[in-house]
Structure 1
Amino acid sequence: MPNIRSSADLRNGYNEISNLCHKYNEPVFITKNGKGDLAVMSVEAYEALMGRFELYNLIHEGIEDIDAGKVRTFSDAMSDIKARRKR
């Protein structure tokens, strides 16, 4: 269940919100005038999220390569790697 706090809570209780973000490793949603305004998270949670986005992007690129026929066999790829190591 999302943790929702007001902008006044962020202003007056920063340390509590920071502790929540670190303890539960998920964002705290901040409202302004009763409406969603911000999502606040720890740096560690942000970096993990960005890492997942990067991984998903690489997987998507790989799927596009497969669809475009830009593939080769595992043994061909390994042969190229071994040849490069011998240089």
Structure 2
Amino acid sequence: MPTIKSSTALRNDYSKISKYCHETGEPVYVTVNGEGDLTVMSIDAFEKRERALEIREKLLEAQLQKANGVPMLDFDEAMSELKALAHGKL
């Protein structure tokens, strides 16, 4: 169940809401006059969510390439390229 707070609560209880976001990693939905307005979350939670979205985007792109017949590397080839990249040889 999402945590919902009014903008007044955000102003008056900022420290408590900030602590909640940091401890749980969950967002808090802020309302103004009973209507949804903002989502507040810790920077760490936001960055984690952004990384997850980037990974999903890359996986979707790879799935589309495979579906469109783009040649893929097999596991051993991919590992060789990654090792070379890690050692500055690519």
For 1:50, the equivalent position in structure 2 comes to 50
Provide the C-alpha distance between the structure 2 equivalents of 1:62 and 1:32, rounded to a whole number of angstroms. 41
Task: Give unmatched runs, 5+ long, in structure 2.
Answer: none
Q: Deviations over 1:47-87 (max 9, x none)?
A: 11001000100100110110111124344555666888778
Provide the C-alpha distance between the structure 1 equivalents of 2:78 and 2:19, rounded to a whole number of angstroms. 47
Partner-residue secondary structure (3-state), 1:69: coil
Aligned length: 87
Provide the C-alpha distance between the structure 2 equivalents of 1:80 and 1:25, rounded to a whole number of angstroms. 36
Taking structure 2 as the reference length, the TM-score comes to 0.81
Larger radius of gyration: 1
For 1:5, the equivalent position in structure 2 comes to 5
Superposition RMSD in Å:
2.4
Provide the C-alpha distance between the structure 1 equivalents of 2:29 and 2:3, rounded to a whole number of angstroms. 6
Provide the C-alpha distance between the structure 2 equivalents of 1:82 and 1:8, rounded to a whole number of angstroms. 54
For 2:23, the equivalent position in structure 1 comes to 23
Partner-residue secondary structure (3-state), 1:36: strand
Identity of aligned residues (%): 43
Taking structure 1 as the reference length, the TM-score comes to 0.84
Single out whichever of 17-26 and 74-83 deviates more from structure 2: 74-83
Partner-residue secondary structure (3-state), 1:20: helix
- What amino acid does structure 1 have at the position aligned with 2:24? Y
Task: Give unmatched runs, 5+ long, in structure 1.
Answer: none
